[in-house]
């Protein structure tokens, strides 16, 4: 049976079966999102979670910094062949982030490791300062 290029591409972007053991139930909030929420609260930076930023699409950003054109996305599964790193998911993310930029949003993307290292909150603080004219 001959496989078309598109079918082969679709198969490559499928998740890889790693085990027959059932996956654990994952809570709605990732560790990275919970940690970033703690950072924002500690610095008293007002935010909205799961913010719908596009007028026509149902796209949501993980966080919006209130009163600022800043969206923050926590990228998960970057080392486990997660949605954000497979072909179709990555392509859809590119469309989402580009649409946000076209509509005037600054998008900060970070992994859980970058949140743990304090990089994402530093980027947020620097952008807030810049937007306030500092």
Measured CA to CA, the distance from residue 109 to residue 88 in angstroms comes to 18
Which tens digits make up the pLDDT trace of 87-100? 677 888 899 999 99
Measured CA to CA, the distance from residue 40 to residue 27 in angstroms comes to 20
* Cα atoms in the 13 Å half-sphere on the side-chain side of 32: 21
State if pTM tops 0.75.
no
Measured CA to CA, the distance from residue 108 to residue 69 in angstroms comes to 11
Confidence (pLDDT) at 55? 86
Q: Token pair for residue 67?
A: 């009163």
Which has more pLDDT, 56 or 27?
A: 56
Say yes or no to pLDDT of 58 above 60: yes
Confidence (pLDDT) at 8? 61
Q: Does domain 29-131 have CATH number 3.40.960.10?
A: yes
Element counts in the chain: helices (H) and strands (E): 5, 4
Confidence (pLDDT) at 13? 55
Per-residue confidence band for 9, with pLDDT thresholds at 50, 70 and 90:
low
Give mean pLDDT, residues 33-47.
Answer: 97
Q: How would you write 60-93 as a 3-class SS string?
A: EEEEEECCCCEEEEEECCCCCCCHHHCHHHHHHH
Question: How far is CA 69 from each of CA 14, 106, 120, 124, rounded to the nearest angstrom?
Answer: 34, 6, 16, 11
């Amino acid at each position: 049976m001959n496989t078309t290029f598109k079918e082969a591409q679709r198969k490559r972007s499928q998740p890889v079966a790693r085990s027959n053991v059932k996956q654990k139930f994952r809570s709605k909030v990732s560790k990275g999102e919970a940690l970033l929420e703690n950072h924002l609260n500690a610095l008293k930076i007002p935010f909205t979670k799961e913010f719908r930023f596009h007028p026509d699409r149902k796209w949501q950003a993980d966080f919006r910094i209130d009163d600022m054109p800043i969206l923050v996305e926590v990228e998960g599964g970057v080392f486990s062949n997660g949605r954000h790193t497979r072909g179709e998911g990555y392509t859809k993310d590119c469309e989402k982030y580009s649409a946000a930029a076209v509509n005037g949003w600054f998008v900060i993307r970070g992994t859980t490791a970058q949140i743990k290292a304090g990089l994402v909150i530093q980027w947020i603080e620097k952008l807030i300062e810049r937007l306030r004219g500092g």
